[in-house]
Amino acid sequence: MPPAPGTALDPSGRSREFEPVEKQGIKTIGTLQKTPWQRFARLQRTAAQLARGRGQPKGVFKFASNEACTAWTANLNRNGK
């Protein structure tokens, strides 16, 4: 004779009724309502604002040696422009 439904899962042989469990709702902190490109543009703006104009100036620069270029770049980064 096969066991009654639910008794095979309980090793003591007693059958228990399933107790209702309250489901907790998912708490949402923030939502992403913008497109990925809009979020990327905002990230770029934030990075530019944090850098405050730092970086390499635009244009073509020629140096007599690699050491001169390294010194110029180090001075450029040190001055923050």
59/43 Cα distance (integer angstroms): 25
35-47 pLDDT, tens per residue?
889 989 999 988 8
Q: The pTM is what?
A: 0.32
pLDDT (0 to 100) of residue 57: 74
Top pLDDT among 75 and 21 is at: 75
37/48 Cα distance (integer angstroms): 16
12-30 pLDDT, tens per residue?
555 567 677 778 888 878 7
Show Cβ contacts of residue 9 under 8 Å, excluding neighbours closer than 6 positions. Answer: none
